[in-house]
Structure formats: structure tokens, C-alpha cells
Amino acid sequence: MAFSGSLKSRLPEVGTSIFAVMSKMAQEHDAINLSQGFPDFKVSHKLIQLINHHMEAGNNQYAPMPGVASLRNVISEVIQTTYQHPTNPETDITITAGGTEALFSVIAALVEAGDEVIIFDPAYDSYAPAVRLNGGVPVHINLLPPTFSIDWDFVKTKITDKTKLIMVNTPHNPCGAVLGDADLKMLETIALQHGIIVLSDEVYERIIFDGKVHHSVLKYPKLAAQSVAVFSFGKTFHATGWKVGYAVAPEFLSKEIRKAHQFITFSVNTPVQLALAEFMLDKENYSHLGSFYQQKRDFFLENIKGSSFEPLPCYGSYFQLLSYKSISKKPDYEMAEWLTKEFKLASIPVSVFYNDKTDNQLLRFCFAKSEMTLFKAAQILKRV
């Protein structure tokens, strides 16, 4: 029997990603693109040379499914130094095709039909679709500006016997908030009490400001024993197009994650993995990232002084939220579109990160850009 042409979508409400939409709009209108989160400055020449070296050396075939051993070994050493958390590179670390694939592989491996997954909105837009595609039920909890803090007492009211995962993100995209020690201890208490697995998106771990400390789930032994932490080399080394990340989890979880990972991507770019393994040996290649990006955030904020946009606190990631409440009553999507078309500056409306499209009249701007780009963008904002 021929296919009728009628297909029921598994994600009927999902269209093209807002990042693709706004980047396309920016290109069409010759606008400065502070929407999609990618740097516009060069990757380390040393790192590129290392990749070229491994390509020329013939390391161009499939890597082992869990990742190149030398890279997993270095990651294990860095985690021990940074978080005082022992990891077995053979069993606890899996190299993935970016942080997004790591998140999807974890959800695909662990979430069964009907399982509930707590997600804090605003949230990165891959979380809920990944849960739904794998038969799970997203349970959304809204965080509110300006602090975007978590009300843990309210979280407790949302836990049921079907709660399988709690997803957290720190430093946070899009709002720039960071979880503190008290947050992680509350998360640990809840996870242990209810037997819940924690999926912690920590791709901006090195990009944290103002003397704040990144509190990884890996720093808390009991919490780490039932958590998965996800990281991204693309974010760390300004190379988002390379799509290399990793998931860290105890062996019983990693074993299941790898089952999904091997059928989603199987393995990740071999010469890039080998190059990263060498590059990570020198701590100076990543220890400065917080101050590097704080300078960019501060440069952007200094140059928008005098505008009518109001910045919200940003303690990490490379995104700055700006409120436009004193400028316009437009919905944020319309405001982002208007700003792109009329003023040639692209941003992201924050309502797209909420399941219920909560609109707090906020726009997200990426400051992982050159000073020239940020200066030009700031001059535009002061004219609005």
C-alpha cells in the first residue's frame, strides 16, 4: 500500500529554531548578529595547528565510540583538579558531538514513556523536544527576572512518583544566572530523597564572572553519584562549529548513555579530539576564560550606558539580557524583529525559552564578539 502522505508530527509545535530564524533575518537585513551564540573572533592558532598536524599524520578515521583515550584521560585529570572529583576515563567520560548531542543521548538513554522531567524555564530550546521525542513528559517551572533563582520549596511540590530527571543549567543560558552552593545542596537533598537523576548542563563552566565560582554537580560526591554533567569544547575554545563535547557520569549511567550515543553519532571527529587532548595539557589555554569574557561583558555594558535598555545581572555564559520596558510595549518577538529590520541589530526574544511563552520584555544579546562588533551594536542600542 502506498504511503498516503499524511504524517502525524511528533513535534507539531516545533518549527525552525529561533537561532536560525534570527540569523537568517540578520543576514537578509545586513544586521549585526548578536542573536546566535557564536564568537566572531579567531580560534587559537596553536589549536588549529594541532588539528592540522593530526590530519597530516593520518588520524582521519573513526575514533573509538567513547572518545579518544588521550582526551578522556586529560578530561579526567582536569575534573580532578577543578572539582576534586575522581573519574575513571574508561567508564565515566563519553565524548559527544557537542553538548546538545550529549544532552539528547542522556535523555534517550534514561527517559522512558511517561517519565517526568523537571525543566526550569527559560531553558535552552533542545531540552523539552528531546524529552518528548523519547516519550517523556516535560514539567516546566518558570524562573522570574531579575534573579532567575530557583524556589526549591516549589520544586518539591512538582515531584511525583514519575519524576525521573531534574535538568539544571549553570551558568545559565539565556539569563546568565549561576547556581550557588546552597542550590546544589538543596538539589542533592531532593535528588537523594526521591531517587531522581540530575542532568546538569555546564557547557559554560569556565565562563563565569565577578568572583563567582562554578558549582558543578561533580563537586558534591553524593549528588555526583546519580548525576550526569555535560560540557562543551565548542563553548570553551570559541569553536562552536566543531561540535565536540562530553558527558561525565558514574559507570552505571555512562553505560546506558553510550548505548544511545553509539547509534546517534557513534564517534566524534578524530583529529580534533587528539588536538584537544594536547591543548588541554596546558592550563593556561583555558584558565583565563572567565576574565576574557568578563572584559567583553563589561565593554558591552559600558558602551550601552546612556541607552534606554536596562541590563539584568549576568554572572556567567556569554549572553546579556536587556529589558526594553521603558522603550516599547511590543511583545519581545516583535521587538526583536523590529530591531533587526529597522536598526540592523539581531537579538533573541527571551519568551521563546519559556514553554508558556512568558514575555517579560527581555532580549538576549551575545557578547562573545570582537570589541568592534560590540561597539557598533552598542551605538545602535543608544539610538533606539
Q: Which residue has the cell 538539589?
A: 187
Torsion of CA 26, 28, 31, 37, to 10 degrees: 20
Mind listing the pLDDT tens digit for each residue in 258-314? 999 999 999 999 999 999 999 999 999 999 999 999 999 999 999 999 999 999 999
Question: Smallest Cα–Cα separation from 257: which of 245, 274, 242, 269?
Answer: 245
- Residue 352: strand, helix, or coil: helix
Selected residue with higher pLDDT from 358 and 15: 358
* Residue 316 CA neighbour count, 13 Å, CB half: 25
Over the Cα atoms of the chain, what is R_g? Answer: 21
Provide the sign of the torsion angle of the four alpha carbons 71, 73, 74, 75, taken in this order. Answer: positive
Please tell me the predicted confidence (pLDDT) of residue 6.
Answer: 74
pLDDT of residue 5: 66
Q: Give DSSP secondary structure letters for 205-241.
A: TT-B-TT-----GGGSHHHHTTEEEEEEHHHHTT-GG
pLDDT at 213: 95
157-188 as b/e, with b when 16 or more CB fall inside 10 Å?
eebeeebbbbbbbbbbbbbbbbbeeebbebbb
Read off the pLDDT of residues 199-252 as tens digits, 9 standing for 90 and up.
Answer: 999 999 999 999 999 999 999 999 999 999 999 999 999 898 999 999 999 999
The grid coordinates listed for 10 are 511528533
b/e for 356-379, b at 16 or more Cβ within 10 A? eebbbbbbbbbbbbeeebbeebbe
298-319 b/e (C-beta count within 10 Å ≥ 16 → b): ebbbebbeebebbbbbbbbbbb
- Which candidate, 66, 124, 118, places its Cα nearest to that of 91? 66
CA distance 116 to 112: 9
β-bridge mates for residue 48, sequence order: none
Mean pLDDT of 355-381: 97
Pull the grid cell for residue 363. 532580549
The number of residues making up the chain comes to 384
Q: Is the pLDDT of residue 1 over 70?
A: no
Instruction: Kindly report whether the peptide bond that precedes residue 174 is cis, defined as omega within 30 degrees of 0.
Output: yes
State the residue for C-alpha cell 596553536. Answer: 46
What's the pLDDT band for 38 if we cut at 50, 70, 90? confident
pLDDT tens figures, 74-115: 999 999 999 999 999 999 999 999 999 999 999 999 999 999
The domains found in the chain, sorted by start residue, are 32-43+291-383 (3.90.1150.10), 61-285 (3.40.640.10)
| Cα–Cα distance, 61 to 63 (Å, whole number) | 6
* Residue 354 to residue 141: CA distance in whole angstroms: 9
Predicted confidence (pLDDT) per residue in 318-333, tens digit: 999 999 999 999 999 9
Strand partners, 5: none
